[in-house]
Amino acid sequence: MEKDIEIIKRRKKIITRICFAIITLAVVAILFFLFRNIILEVLRLTKANDNEGLKDFMRSKGWLGYIAVVLVEALEMVVVFMPAEFIQIPAGLSFFFPIAILLCDVGVCLGASIIYFLVHVLKFDNEFIAKGQKKIKNLATRRKNQNTQILMYFLFVTPIIPFGAICYWASSTKISYRRYILTCFTGVIPSIVTSIIMGTSIKYFIAEALPIWLLVIIIICLG
């Protein structure tokens, strides 16, 4: 009898988690569908290096531009192969510095949450998507005395490994969601600040017609 009750509880827990994950993914999918034109235009302008066009486009969209930054950042996290700077630098070009940081950080947390539920709840096999998994696992083996949080902080300041790959790996460990999302929220700030400073610098240099070699030196120092 006790065994049957335990099985029922376990099934209810699994069903609840799956439902929550499905709802989360559905909300993200709906948001992407509603704002797909803005997101795709941001991606197109960024790829074309049309900084002025991107700045004008983002500002013309008002609050929709803010949502686009968050969703594109989240998308970059989930698909992994898109570099985070792809939207962070444009955010620095388009928005006030603190707002750009907050938007990118919220996007990272949204993407990290999706990854956590994909791996933790749906048991998604991240071996085929998370770039840098082998490097992360080798590093984790060498630093086995460090907990997952400390290792995540270390990885977030490592420029070679994408944020998404770090989150796919961390989600496969026993870390709780609270610790995981707190680490993501705080750990990515240095990288986001660096990228947004680059975007802000580009905007300033274009406006003031300053020498490009000075901008290159700044980017090298920040990198």
Tell me how many domains the chain contains. 1
Please report the beta strands in the chain, taking only residues with DSSP state E, as ranges in sequence order.
none
Maximum Cα interatomic distance, the chain, rounded to a whole number of Å: 78
Residue position matching structure tokens 């968050």: 70
With a cut of 70, say whether residue 99 has pLDDT above it. yes
> What is the separation, in whole angstroms, between the first and last Cα of the chain?
62
pTM exceeds cut of 0.75: no
* Burial (CB count <10 Å: 0-12, 13-18, 19+), residue 144: exposed
With a cut of 90, say whether residue 88 has pLDDT above it. no
Nearest to 100 by CA among 184, 203, 207, 196: 196
The residue range of the domain holding 66 is: 2-222
Percent of the chain with pLDDT over 70: 63
Digit-coded pLDDT (tens) for 14-50 = 776 676 667 666 766 776 776 777 777 777 776 676 7
Q: State the pLDDT at residue 130.
A: 46
Q: State the pLDDT at residue 217.
A: 59
Q: State the pLDDT at residue 108.
A: 93
**What is the C-alpha radius of gyration for the chain, rounded to an integer number of angstroms?**
19
- Other Cβ atoms closer than 10 A to 18: 13
